[in-house]
Amino acid sequence: MFFILVTIYRMRNRKLKKSKAWKLTAFQRLDFKAEDVLECLNEENKIGKGGAGIVYRRSMRDGGYVAIKRLVGQEWETRYKIAVEAAKGLCYLHHDCTPLIIHRDVKSNNILLDLDYEAHVADFGLAKFLQDAGASECMSAIAGSYGYIAPEYADTLKVDDKSDVYSFGVVLLELIAGRKPVGEFRDGVDIVRWVRKITLEISRPSDRASVLAVVGPRLNGSPLTGIILLFKIAMMCVEDESSARPTTREVVHMLTNPPQSARSLINL
């Protein structure tokens, strides 16, 4: 019995040594930058779609073409769904409630997800009723969460529905960048000022360059056209002048009625 076990052990050892000696070599090595791959992930380059993902065509410097498959993942779709559902919740408070409600503490921690990743706006401890649409209320003190507070609220103590819009824009930037609104930047800079600084430093400014400069690593490989759309909406929401910001009704419309080039990449 001992002899048989020793023989089997030696035979397995030889097989393991042989398998470790194997070396696999690819037929052809292709080098791409992340920017090159992301650039081709748009509707114009789409050549097919299957259960595993969407296939895009990418032109090579030598005139040839390669096929690039973007594997279907839930990261981007889930984040976009959270943005849409949270915007709808705020829109209901601002436009459909009687009287209208200002949340005053819109932040990622107050957007709760159920088992189906449906987003629900929560925690109304700081909420205020607004008697007239478009009016503002003067508060006795600032309430809310650092990094989400609109500049006019901090300066004048006046709050309206556009103050919530600013806070929601910060949430959108969190979804895109994968960063907290404060604490990850130097000199007390928040995420809004960080994004503005990063985009201003780009030598050749463009929507694509701005998104690539701030997008979080977990969204690498996600459709650039869809991320650009969300980024544009976020930057409109965090305008310093409250009058320049869209209403939550307009935000919902932009999120649920994207340009044709982005529609298939958002899975609405």
DSSP 8-state class, residue 1? -
Q: Which residues, other chains included, contact 210 with Cβ-Cβ below 8 Å and sequence gap of 6+?
A: 198, 199, 202, 231
Closest to 83 measured CA to CA, from 215, 195, 175: 175
Please give the structure tokens belonging to residue 6: 């020793």
Which SS3 state, helix, strand or coil, does residue 120 take?
strand
CA-CA distance, 264 to 246, in Å (whole number)? 24
Mark the ranges of the chain whose per-residue pLDDT is less than 70: 1-35, 37, 50-53, 69-74, 132-137, 140, 260-268
* Residue 126 contacts residue 144 (beta carbons within 8 Å): yes
Domains and CATH numbers, the chain: 26-72 (no CATH), 75-266 (1.10.510.10)
Cα of 119 vs its chain's centroid, Å: 14
Pairing of strands 65-71, 100-102: unpaired
| pLDDT at residue 171, as a whole number | 98
Active site residue 96: no
Q: Indicate which residue of 36, 96, 105, 190 is catalytic.
A: 105
| pLDDT at residue 10, as a whole number | 53
CA-CA distance, 255 to 226, in Å (whole number)? 10
**Using one digit for the tens of pLDDT, what is the confidence trace for 112-144?**
988 788 899 999 999 999 876 666 667 767 788
Cα of 237 vs its chain's centroid, Å: 15
Which SS3 state, helix, strand or coil, does residue 142 take?
coil
Is the pTM here over 0.75, yes or no? Answer: no
φ and ψ at residue 59, rounded to 5 degrees? -80, 145
**Using one digit for the tens of pLDDT, what is the confidence trace for 43-73?**
888 888 754 467 888 877 777 777 876 655 5
> CB pairs under 8 A, 24+ apart, for 106-114?
106/148, 106/164, 106/167, 106/168, 106/171, 107/145, 107/147, 107/148, 107/167, 107/170, 107/171, 107/181, 108/171, 108/174, 109/145, 111/82, 111/86, 111/171, 113/82
Helix intervals (H) in 67-190: 75-91, 151-156, 161-177
